[in-house]
Structure 1
């Protein structure tokens, strides 16, 4: 049938069928741009997978130009990962978030593979925002352009045609590539990508009433003998025969087929980051059919003009709020309901825009008590109902990461995290760094108020680190190990998602031990190696704020730590090394006070602020300011020479993104290499994201060892130490990789050029 022919003299109905194809489906935006430029009115749409996304949004009234802007502004890294921005995670969870290479649910006490690699929290958020104006349209025939979206029933088998329901859920289901994106429950069926049964839904748009069908195909093709030498392509090929054969039959039903397979042969289904090229290719290929498309446009002009507009968002109040599990079944646990309510902060009888609802969803997901949090709308004649869907994860999660750096050692980070164990609204975690120098941390926290923003937390920490303190090396050439054992009990109060107050009681023991040299190891020499040991109690009041968008290579936000810590009941229990141990006695004299130097109780204060300002999408400026001082009970006029205990001192140095807030970074120095009683420091770097996940950041650092608490009193250029250099970073699949080259001034006699390499997530 020609486009100009229609039944009973009416305008012929134009159908658009769009196949699946992953990232290749971005070519449909180019096809739609050509269709829009000619003023062609589409009457029916069918879509699978990528065709379901762009077909569904186009059916809502989005123009092709709008779809192009959407594709260019979506964070495809987020869509194709299981992460959300760090600033959407609650502050009590930020330290642990995205800090491991692998995470597996624990079933029957053992780690197991998840049902899918990606839950799609960010994807659901994007789809809900884009389709929010159409939330009350539960019959897809009532959209500006009727649309049908295909999915497959992964349990019972068979094609499922989604003509009714909640549009973003239908789109999310057709995107659920098995084992990659988690499946979606709709009307009791577990649905996945419709490409399993019908990757090119031409028959479906024909059944809707299309007289003339335009087909866009970016789907399967069979690989050549040479290509299937790749084992992954061989596995893919074994499952593709049925789909390819069905697609050939569907192609025969189109009146105008725009086949993108040859033009996109150099792209994969995962090449979303090549959106500009793929959209351009889509438009170029579509223009090859301009004569046919122009003919359709001219034939349509013989009839009254019809214009498609984006659905207008209704402004109706929410009448009911229901809490459901991932299957869409009502949750009957009042504790879970109240927990969700305390974070959502949504009331019935009010009108909310999409940002208000999304913010509530983000707050709830940011607790990490749920694997996924999303919502649907429905109206069955009793007013608008908001359904909050909560997918509870397994009680336990096993996490692991690899790490290496040139200052400490290589290791394997192993973590077990359990939620709601012993008590509801709680989290237990245990982390061990299996390295040359083992490190251990265990903590348990529990929310204790109805608003779930007040918690009690107990923490046990054991650290065993090689000390980088420069003065140790001046004393002798031995290696020194810094052992810390700490037990904390803290009360935390969250002001908002990104900030909290903390009040902490702690008991701490710190010891410095001299390592064995090669000869001592060979002879198995036994001697007292502890050259410093001190125990104290402390009470700490702190304010923490973190709204950075990423834990590593952040491009915006700030990180603020303000802490006042009172050390009391300080006890030194170091034994004097043997008289023949000259090296041990030298470092003992440096670390331990004489009787008249013992400081008594110590009050330590510091402020550490990092502010990151984006200049554009690739360049951001990172500024860090640190100020810290100690006040002792014995010496009323502190100077830089005043003795304070080892854990009172500020240790300067290092270039890692995640460092102890009491240790200001400094390029050209090892982590904690320069220690001081009263310190002020400044760091400035410009981060340039020049290739995908690759970053370059020149940096300058300044530090002053102050005479007292006043950072400006008596300061001179002789007191300032400088550092300058460059950092190169890469966000790899196993974690961040950092390499830095730095040089210092006014610290060492020769100020050597220093290199540092760090790979993976650290303890």
Structure 2
């Protein structure tokens, strides 16, 4: 026989290659089952944004110092801090230093006169001017503005005229803390950004919703609300104060319920103005935070494996 022409040889080679490829593909399909989808690689944990929400409570805020110490020791990430009233002061101090030991050192220095500068002259809107609080913040917070704090931070206040919740996320730190902490009837209202502002606790004592609105996947809330005495109030004034306290406690519980973890230090009946129990309050914060650590780790683990939300598409 004569030699095959080059065109015929190329055709034979192509047919042989196609036959070999088909045989290999059939063998692979047989091994995993015809029509079976190859297994997907395991899902990789996604980044989780953790927010720490610090509620109000005056001197009971020292318990939050203990909570932060434990979170730092246990290497729980804090990507956002939202502070209300006393929580705004503790939160700003930590956001500036990002060091629980430095926070604790400052906390030991705080005295009642650093926060409450009583003056009955010159105003009928409240006996505390708030200047001492702003000066204290100026001495201990190095960042000139909220935007330059080491940890993203927002303070929350209440618009006295409209009742709206106001989020303070820019500008000087001192006035924002002052506004967030301006207890009605004690502090004079604060004029800031064209609004008249008072304490965050009037409408949102534990602003979990603010953390969620800013993209938090996991929210750790610290509730330092007053534990009410078991005895029955006996006169008009004590009955009125008890009712106000009950309303505040229920509002705090309502606002905190969307948190992944709520830390409740045992603060007892410590008054908002009692600065003599720092050690006990910090210890209460440490104990409550240690108890909460397993739940916090579990919440972060769940969030890290949760599928990203599918963006909504318009018509």
Could you tell me which residue of structure 1 aligns to residue 138 of structure 2? 128
Is the CA contact (8 Å cut-off) linking 2:118 and 2:127 kept in structure 1?
Answer: yes
Work out which of the residue numbers 46, 62, 67 in structure 2 matches 1:26. Answer: 62
| Among candidates 259, 265, 270, match of residue 264 of structure 2 | 259
The higher-RCO structure (CA 8 Å, 6+ apart) is: 2
Q: C-alpha displacement at 1:290, in angstroms?
A: 3.5
**Higher strand proportion (structure 1 or 2):** 1
Structure 1 residue 47 corresponds to structure 2 residue 88: no
Unaligned runs of 5+ in 1: 1-6, 84-102, 106-112, 302-763
1:66–1:125: structure 2 CA closer, same or farther, 3 Å change rule?
Answer: same
Q: TM-score, normalised by structure 2?
A: 0.74
Aligned to 1:61: 97
Aligned 1:147-226 pairs, distance under 5 A = 147-219=153-225, 224=230, 226=231
Distance in 2 of aligned mates of 1:10 and 1:252:
25
Q: CA RMSD in A?
A: 2.9
Asked if the contact 2:97/2:103 (under 8 Å) is kept, the reply is: no
User: CA 1:82–1:243 in structure 2 vs 1: closer, same or farther (change >3 Å)?
Assistant: closer
Q: Tell me the secondary structure at the aligned position of residue 233 of structure 2.
A: helix
Aligned-pair CA distance for 1:9: 4.0
Decide whether aligned partners of structure 1 residues 191 and 8 sit closer, same or farther in structure 2, where only a CA change above 3 A counts: farther
Q: How does 1:359-374 map to 2 (within 5 A)?
A: none
* Residues 39 and 297, structure 1, Cα contact 8 Å, conserved in 2: no
Deviation of 1:295 (Å): 5.5
Deviations along 1:431-457, one digit per CA (max 9) or x if unpaired, are xxxxxxxxxxxxxxxxxxxxxxxxxxx
Q: Could you tell me whether the CA contact under 8 Å between 1:148 and 1:205 is conserved in 2?
A: no
CA deviations over 1:398-422 (Å, ceiling 9, x no partner):
xxxxxxxxxxxxxxxxxxxxxxxxx
Rounded Cα–Cα distance in structure 1 between residues aligned with 2:174 and 2:218:
28
Number of residue equivalences: 263
**Mapped contact 1:17–1:46 kept (Cα < 8 A):** yes
Any residues of structure 2 matched to 1:681-760 within 5 Å, and which? none
User: How many angstroms does 1:166 deviate by?
Assistant: 1.6
Query: C-alpha separation between the residues in 1 aligned to 2:210 and 2:189?
Result: 23
Instruction: Give the alignment's TM-score, normalised by structure 1.
Output: 0.32
Are residue 289 (structure 1) and residue 254 (structure 2) matched? no
State the structure with more CA Rg. Answer: 1
SS at match of 1:267: coil
Aligned partners of 1:242 and 1:80: how far apart in 2? 24
Secondary structure of the 1:46 match is strand
Spell out the pairing of 1:349-428 with structure 2 (5 A cutoff).
Answer: none
Query: Of the candidates 237, 252, 255, which is equivalent to residue 250 of structure 1?
Result: 255
* 1:294 Cα deviation after fit: 5.5
CA shift for structure 1 position 267: 1.3
2-structure distance, mates of 1:188, 1:237:
34
Matched, 1:37 2:42: no
Larger proportion of helix = 2
* Structure 2 counterpart SS, 1:235: helix
Q: Distance in 2 between matches of 1:270 and 1:227?
A: 22
Is the 2:133–2:174 Cα contact (8 Å) retained in structure 1?
no
What's the CA shift for 1:120? 2.8
Q: How does 1:479-518 map to 2 (within 5 A)?
A: none
Q: Cα gap change, 1:62/1:234 in structure 2, threshold over 3 Å: closer, same or farther?
A: farther
Conserved 8 A contact 1:220-1:243: no
Distance in 2 (CA, whole Å) between partners of 1:291 and 1:158 is: 36
Distance 1:155 1:298 in 2: 42
Q: Distance in 2 between matches of 1:191 and 1:236?
A: 23
Deviations 1:447-483 (A, max 9, x none): xxxxxxxxxxxxxxxxxxxxxxxxxxxxxxxxxxxxx
2:137 is paired with a residue of what secondary structure?
A: helix
Q: Residues 76 and 273 of structure 1 are in contact (CA less than 8 Å); yes or no, is this contact kept in structure 2? A: no
Assess, with a 3 A threshold, how the Cα gap between structure 1 residues 79 and 250 changes in structure 2: closer, same or farther.
Answer: closer
State the match for 1:238 in structure 2.
243
Question: How many angstroms apart in 1 are the aligned matches of 2:267 and 2:82?
Answer: 22
Map Cα deviations across residues 594-631 of structure 1 (whole Å, 9 max, x no partner).
xxxxxxxxxxxxxxxxxxxxxxxxxxxxxxxxxxxxxx
Paired residue secondary structure (1:115): coil
